[in-house]
Amino acid sequence: MTQPEHDLRPRLFAAWAERPLALACVFLAVTTLVWKTVGLEFVPGWDDMFGGVGAQYPRRAIEMSGAWKIGYLLVYGCLGTTATISGLLISLRRGSLESAAGAPLCRYAAVLGLFHVILGLHHTAWAITAGRWGHLRLEQFEVPGGYVLGALAGAWTGLHGLRLLSSRSESPTHRIMRSKIAVDGVSCLTFVSVVVCYARNALGLPRDGFVERVSWTLVFVGPVLWLVLDLAWSRRLPRSSATP
């Protein structure tokens, strides 16, 4: 009896989440764009999250400089919205995973990749300077290994961004899709604390230090775990279909 051949078709980690993640990322980016332009004061509980040390989303200073405000608007708001819409278009217009990506898909991937290279550099700089770069201060939450996990996730996400940025027309579609799902998942996981704290504020619940500490811990543990699972999944595939 002959042995069954390996299934050499490429398979994606968390393929079921491809479009939900893409849609969630667009929503988060558009929300950020609105927040950084017209503001979200009309959303009950939103502004209550942000402030100096002691807030649910603690900053080094309550008021940011104009340069930082413009930087966050351009990167997270403008480029973030453009990049996440590009990511959604990848999911809507791609062919089979085995097919060549083609020029249009590579252009979308390049925009998404540029965004995540910049984010990767920013988050890595924040981590290796122990919060001196950027404005987020997390000492009050006592996140175990937060700076180490932040540096790892930032650098790893930046590498996926480089993969997207360097995509070529002849690149297999599954190579783009693997990195796209990786960065989309990381993006959503970094908003866990915002979602949890905002939901509690909107419901009128009192602050809970334990809940806030757990949600911030998930912001750092979640992305690294997501990237590790993606790597492990890619390594279990036959060599001809794996995308290192």
- Nearest residue to 134 via CA among 123, 150, 146, 143: 123
CA dist., res. 79 & res. 26, Å (int): 11
pLDDT at 156: 97
62-104 tens-digit pLDDT? 777 889 899 999 999 999 999 999 999 999 999 999 999 999 9
128-163 tens-digit pLDDT? 998 889 888 888 888 888 999 999 999 999 999 999
Beta bridge partners of 59: 136
The CA-CA-CA angle for residues 130, 52, 83, to 5°, reads: 65
Mean residue pLDDT across the chain: 90
